Amino acid sequence: MGKADDGGFDPKDFLDIDHLLSDEERDIRATVRSFVTDRVVPHVGDWFETATIPRELPRELGKLGVLGMHLDGYGCAGTSATAYGLACMELEAGDSGVRSMVSVQGSLAMYAIWRWGSEEQKQRWLPGMATGETVGCFGLTEPDAGSDPGAMRTRARRDGADWIIDGRKMWITNGSIADVAVVWAGTDEGVRGFLVPSGTPGFTAPEIRRKLSLRASVTSELVLDGVRVPADAVLPEVSSLRGPLSCLNEARYGIVWGAAGAARTCLETAVRYAGERTAFGKPIAGTQIQQQKLAHMALEVNRATLLALHLGRLKDAGRLRPEQISMGKLGNVNAALDVARTARQILGANGISLEYPVIRHMNNLESVVTYEGTADVHALVIGGALTGVQAFR
C-alpha cells in the first residue's frame, strides 16, 4: 500500500501501517512489488489459464533474493522475518502460486536442510537453492495421510550403509520441476527426512493435472519405488514429526502475510471497478450496499496485515509460538477468502473472468485454506491451546 506524499490520509494504507515499518523493510517491499508488477502481473492470467509457470522463474526469484531470504549463511540474505513476510505479501498479491514456489523452496525445502541437515548437506545444497539454480520440493503429504502425517506409509529401511525408500507422496508443490526432494519417511528410528536427487533410479514425479486452483504452480505426485540413497542423504539432526512440523511453522508464517496480499489485490480491484462501473445511472461505488461491502473488505485487509506484522515482530523477537501461527493462518486465509468472494460479486460477470485478478485469487485461496494445515486443523490447534484438551483423535 502506498503512503500519501504529504503524510496525509491514504485510504490504500487506511491504518497507516507503513509508519510501523523501517526504511529497510519498505525498500525490500518496494523491490519485490516492482518485480511482481513487471514480471508476474502482466502474465499470470495466461499462466493460470494454461496451467504453466515459466521454468526460468526460480532463477529470477533467486536473483531477486527471496529464496531462503530469512535464513543466514550459505548464500541466503539473512533478512528479518518481517522483511520475509512483506516479500510473501507482495508475491501473493501477484499470485498464490508464485508465493508457493518461494515458500516451498525457502521455508520448506531449504529450511529443512538449514535446520536439520549436516554441514556437508548445507554446503552442497543451499547456495544453489538460494540462487534458484537448484529447485527443491517437500514431500510430507500422502494419498491417505494429509492432516495426519503421523499416518504416513512411506518407509525407509537400512540396507548396509544405504537406505531404501518405498512409498508415495501426493500434492507436492514443485515436485516435477525439483532437482532435489526432501522426503519424509517412517523408519525404525522414527520419522526421518531424506534428500533425494530427482535423477535417482526409482524416483518419479508425475504432474497432477485438472486442478482448478493454484494453476500457476506445479503440483505433483512423488513415486518412490525402491529408491536407494547413501547414508549421507538422511537429515541427521531429527528423527520425529518435529522435523517436518518445524518446517511447516516457517511456511505457515509466510502464508499469514501472503493471504493479506491476495486480499489486498481483490480489495483494490473492487474499489477501482466500483468507481468505474455505472448501473442505474450512477457508479455502483455510490450505493450504500457496495460501500458496506468495501468497508468490510478494507477492515479485513487491514486487520490481516496488522496481525501478520504483529506475528512478524514476535518472530523477530524469537517469541512466536506455533499456536499463534495457527491463529494467523486460520484468520488471515479465511479473511482473504471472504474478501475475494465479495470482490468477485462486486465485479458482476467480470468477476468470473481472468481479465481481472479476482477469481484467480479466489480459486487459489481454496488451496491455501487447505494446504499447510486445513482451517479445521488450525482451529483444533487453537482449541487445544485454549482448553488444554487435544481434539484431533
Please give the biggest Cα pair distance in the chain.
80
- Contact assessment for residue 146 and residue 196, using Cβ atoms and an 8 Å cutoff: no
The three cell numbers of residue 306 are 496488522
Among ligand TGC, ligand FAD, none, residue 245 binds (CB under 5-8 Å by kind): ligand TGC
Taking CB under 6 A as the criterion, which residues in 37-96 touch ligand TGC? none
Taking CB under 6 A as the criterion, which residues in 152-181 touch ligand TGC? 173
Query: Per rule CB under 6 A, is residue 374 in the interface with ligand FAD?
Result: yes
Query: Per rule CB under 6 A, is residue 143 in the interface with ligand TGC?
Result: no
Binding test (CB under 6 A) with ligand TGC, winner from 37, 240, 278, 353: 240
- How wide is the angle at C-alpha 320 spanned by C-alphas 316 and 323, nearest 5°? 160
The three cell numbers of residue 216 are 500457476
Binding test (CB under 6 A) with ligand FAD, winner from 48, 84, 116, 138: 138
| Residue type at position 107 | S
Q: Phi first, then psi: what are they for 137, rounded to 5°?
A: -135, 170
Taking CB under 6 A as the criterion, which residues in 371-390 touch ligand TGC? 371-373, 377, 381
Q: Is 334 left (phi over 0), alpha (psi -120 to 50) or beta?
A: alpha
Q: List, by residue number, the catalytic residues.
A: 372
d(CA 126, CA 114): 8
- Contact assessment for residue 354 and residue 360, using Cβ atoms and an 8 Å cutoff: yes
Q: Which is nearer to ligand FAD, 175 or 285 (CB)?
A: 175
Residues that bind ligand TGC (rule: CB under 6 A) add up to a total of 25
Beta-bridge partner residues of 193: 184
Q: Which is nearer to ligand TGC, 10 or 207 (CB)?
A: 207
Find the helix or strand (DSSP H, E) in which 251 lies.
helix 242-276
Query: Per rule CB under 6 A, is residue 362 in the interface with ligand FAD?
Result: no
- Contact assessment for residue 82 and residue 253, using Cβ atoms and an 8 Å cutoff: no
Q: How far is the CB of 360 from ligand FAD (least distance, A)?
A: 14
Query: Per rule CB under 6 A, is residue 167 in the interface with ligand FAD?
Result: no
Among ligand FAD, ligand TGC, none, residue 90 binds (CB under 5-8 Å by kind): none
Q: How far is the CB of 229 from ligand TGC (least distance, A)?
A: 21
Q: Which is nearer to ligand FAD, 79 or 367 (CB)?
A: 367
Residue in the structure block whose three cell numbers are 502460486: 97
The three cell numbers of residue 134 are 537448484
Q: How far is the CB of 173 from ligand FAD (least distance, A)?
A: 3
Query: Per rule CB under 6 A, is residue 189 in the interface with ligand TGC?
Result: no
The three cell numbers of residue 91 are 508475491
Residue in the structure block whose three cell numbers are 500457476: 216
The three cell numbers of residue 141 are 503429504
Q: Which is nearer to ligand TGC, 293 or 378 (CB)?
A: 378
CB atoms within 10 A of CB 146: 18
Q: Phi first, then psi: what are they for 234, rounded to 5°?
A: -85, 140
Q: Which residues bind ligand TGC (CB under 6 A)?
A: 100, 103-104, 138, 140-141, 147, 149-150, 173, 240-242, 245-246, 248-249, 251, 322, 371-373, 377, 381, 392
Binding-site ranges for ligand FAD (CB under 6 A):
104, 138-141, 146-147, 171-173, 214, 219, 367, 370-371, 374, 376-377, 392
